[in-house]
Chains A and B, each alone.
Chain A
Amino acid sequence: MAPRLGVVIFPGTNCEHDAVLAARRLGASADLVWHGDRTVAGYDALILPGGFAHGDYLRPGAIARFSPVMEAVGRFAADGGPVVGICNGFQVLTEAGLLPGALQKNRGLRFLCTTVEVRVDSSDSVLTREVPVGTELRIPINHFEGNYICDADTLAELRGENRVVLRYVDNPNGSIDDIAGICNHGRNVVGLMPHPERASDPLLGSVDGSVLLRALLASAGAPTGPPVLGAVPVGA
C-alpha cells in the first residue's frame, strides 16, 4: 500500500501544495493536516513544509510550536514516526525542541533565493536512508533565517553521532560546519533548509530533491516502530 504522507499547514505556510504534489508523483498518498488538528493518526510520515507559519512573528517557528497539532507531531516523532521539516518547518522543529540548535539570520543579512549544491553526509536518517554518502544534490534554498547555530557540545554530539545529514558544498548563509540539515538522536526527525519538493521535476531545473523524498517515503513504508540504528558503511 502506498505510504500516507501528512503535510502540516499553519497559517502562513506556503509550500504545502508543492510537497503534496511532489509526494503524489512519487506514488504516495498525501494530504494536508491543519495546525489546529490534535491528531495525526493514519499517517505514515509527516512533512512540516516551508513558508511563514504565523507570520514568523516573534521568531520563525516560535508561535507555531504552540499550535495544537505540534503535540501530536511530538508524540508521532517519539514513537519513531518519520518527520521532516523543510525550511520554515526546520525552524518550527528547533523551536519545538524536536531538533537541537536554532536558525539565525543569514550571514550578510540577505534573503537567499537560489539553487545550491548540498552533499549527503549521512545515509542514516529517514530522509537520506538509501542515498550514498557523498552524493551531491542541486536543490533550491529560499530563506532569510537559515544560518544554523548550536553550542559546541551540541555540535560535537551531532558530529559524533553522524547526525549532520546534509552539508552545503559552498556555504551560502554562514551555517556552522556548513550544516544544511540534521537529524535527531532517533534519526527519524530531520530538518533541512533546502527545498527538495522544489527539485522534483525537470521543469523546475532539478529532480535531485526526489532522491530525498523517495527515501522519506521508503522510510514511511517501513515497519512501524523505532527506526533501525545501523552504522553507515564506510565509503557507501
Chain B
Amino acid sequence: MASSEHFSVLVEVRPREGIADPEGATIERALPALGLNGVSGMRAGKAFRFDIAATDDAEALARATVVAERVLANPVIEESTVTVMPGGASGTSGTPGGRG
C-alpha cells in the first residue's frame, strides 16, 4: 500500500468574471484617497489554507479541487484556483501572490 504524504493547499476563491463585486469595487474606489492611483481590476475574495494527505501531488490536487469546487466556492457566483505544495503545515508555507 502506497504511503501517504501531507501536502499543503492554498485555495483562492473570488467572484466569477461578470459577477458584480461591490466589495472589490469599493476598495478600488477608496485607494485614490491615499494617493494610490492606477489600481484597477480589484476583486475581493477569500483564501483557504489546509493540509491534505495523498499518495502524490496529482492525487492531492484532485482531492483539493473537489474541496474547492464543492464546498469552498459556490460555482454559481465564484471561481477558485488551487495550489498544492509539498509538505504539511500550510499555515507556514509560502504565500503565492503575496496574500496571507
Contact: A102 with B22, CB < 8 Å? no
Q: How far is the CA of A150 from the CA of B18 in the complex (A)?
A: 12
A62 within 8 A of B: yes
Tell me if A101 is interfacial: C-beta within 8 Å of chain B. yes
On whether the beta carbons of B22 and A149 are closer than 8 Å, the reply is: no
Q: Are A62 and B74 in contact (CB under 8 A)?
A: yes
- Tell me the minimal C-beta distance from A93 to chain B in angstroms: 13
Cα distance, A102 to B76, chains bound together (Å) = 6
Q: Which residues of B contact A59 (CB under 8 A)?
A: 74
Those of A77-128 within 8 Å (CB) of chain B: 94-95, 100-102, 104-109
Find chain B residues with CB under 8 A from A108 CB.
22
In the complex, are the beta carbons of B23 and A105 less than 8 A apart? yes
- Whether B19 contacts A149 by the Cβ 8 Å rule is yes
Count class of interface residues, chain B: 10 to 19
Contact B77 A149 (CB under 8 A): yes
B71 and A62: CB pair below 8 A? yes
Set A58, A94, A109, A150: member contacting B23, Cβ < 8 A: A109
Q: Are B20 and A102 in contact, CB atoms less than 8 angstroms apart?
A: no
Within 8 A of A (CB), among B1-41: 15, 19-20, 22-23, 26
CB distance from A63 to the nearest CB of B (A): 9
Flag whether B72 is at the interface (Cβ < 8 A).
Answer: yes
In the assembled complex, which residues on chain B have CB atoms less than 8 Å from the CB atom of A105?
Answer: 22-23
A149 to B20, CA, bound (A): 10
Q: Are A58 and B71 in contact (CB under 8 A)?
A: yes
CB-CB contacts below 8 Å: A124-183 with B: 149-151, 174
A-B contacts besides A62-B71, A101-B76, A106-B22, 14 pairs, CB < 8 Å: A58-B71, A58-B72, A62-B74, A95-B74, A100-B76, A104-B15, A104-B19, A104-B20, A105-B23, A107-B20, A109-B23, A109-B26, A149-B19, A150-B76
Residues of B in contact with A (beta carbons under 8 Å apart):
15, 19-20, 22-23, 26, 71-72, 74, 76-77
25 A–B contacts, CB within 8 A, in A order: A58-B71, A58-B72, A59-B74, A62-B71, A62-B74, A94-B76, A95-B74, A100-B76, A101-B76, A102-B74, A102-B76, A102-B77, A104-B15, A104-B19, A104-B20, A104-B77, A105-B22, A107-B20, A108-B22, A109-B22, A149-B19, A149-B76, A150-B76, A151-B76, A174-B20
